[in-house]
Amino acid sequence: MANADRLPFEQPIAELEARIEKLSRVSPHTSETRAELRRLRRDLTVTTKDIFANLTASQVVLVARHLGRPMTTDYLDLVFDEFVELHGDKTFGDDRAIRTGWAKLDGIKVMVVGHQRGKNLKERDACYFGCAHPEGYRKAMAKMALAAKFGMPVICLIDTPGAYPGIGAEERGQAQVIAKSMFEMSRLRTPIICVVIGEGGSGGALGIGVGDRVAMLQHSCYSVISPEGCAGILWRSHEFKDKAAEILKLTSNDLPALGVVDDVIPEPLGGAHRNPTLAASRLKIYLRNELRRLTAMPVGDLIDARYQRFRCLGRFLEGRPEDGVAATTDSVAVEKSLKSPRGQRISVHV
């Protein structure tokens, strides 16, 4: 991996890899050289495991945003067969930030819906860096309805900083379209599996994030707002983004306990960007197993369970402790209190 692609906390890994590469070029290899290479490779494995087992929340965000991380287009090639892309929302246009189309997964016909961020500056600009417009969510809704008509499961791959925040998107009803998409997905008469493959940000992620199973890759993140946005609102400075990331509970270590995600898919050692093929293989195994389970369930039971899942996620309370606002006895796992810039207490009970 090029040094330019290295994250700051990966420096010890980069140094060991550089030493291994340098020693590997020495010719001929003596017994001492081979022994040293074995030792360095063991050290590399141990160091990588140690670093990635102790990532902070803000470091997880950096991994989730890594430019080399597999994107929807990569998984379309590595996980699915016979993908046929479907374009347009039948109203305004075709949003390249969301890709939709037919595909097969081990012979099972599915509809794939996923965010696309782009691999280089030209692609990212064309895809709006994965930030979908209203026409993107309308396109997704239309294709999911088509899948339900033909009895095909829907697979959503989530990877976005959030919905596009521009004036044009707002004029075309961004918030309303996201809400409509969530509503339609909640009653769609076919199995839905949603997987956060990178960054799951705000309403942009929720717009295609209502499913029977919601999973995330191990080093992805899923949050109502980015750490930078949260820090800017609460503390008026992006300098507090690390603190905001910890408070947001946006990693795979926290979200299953909160009921926000159901499953965590392990990534290769060092993150999906270090071995996209293995990451895709693990994603494929997960999707295959869940598809078999969900397609065996009656559609009515699926919809009831899907609705209840999202109804029971939690509740938001705002007020001061002395106001008598408290969590119910069956509240689980988390109660966080912060002070907003106006001095008001903000409590979140889950």
Q: What is the pLDDT of residues 34-59, one digit of tens each?
A: 898 999 999 999 999 999 999 999 99
Nearest one of 252, 262, 253 to 309, comparing CA atoms: 262
Q: What is the DSSP secondary structure assignment for residue 163, as one 8-state letter?
A: S
How many helices (H) and strands (E) would you count in the chain? 14, 11
C-alpha distance from residue 261 to each of 85, 191, 218 (Å): 28, 16, 11
Which 3 state secondary structure label does DSSP give 40?
helix
Average pLDDT estimate for 268-285: 96
Nearest one of 54, 51, 68 to 12, comparing CA atoms: 51
Nearest one of 285, 286, 277 to 194, comparing CA atoms: 286
More confident position, 329 or 310? 310
φ, ψ of residue 41 in degrees (nearest 5): -70, -35
Length of the chain: 350
- The pLDDT > 90 percentage for the chain reads 73
Contact 170, 131 (CB under 8 A): no
Note the pTM of the prediction, 2 decimals. Answer: 0.85
Statement: residue 249 has pLDDT above 60: yes
In whole angstroms, give the CA distance from residue 282 to residue 332: 30
How many Å separate Cα 29 from the centre of its chain? Answer: 44
Average pLDDT estimate for 170-193: 95
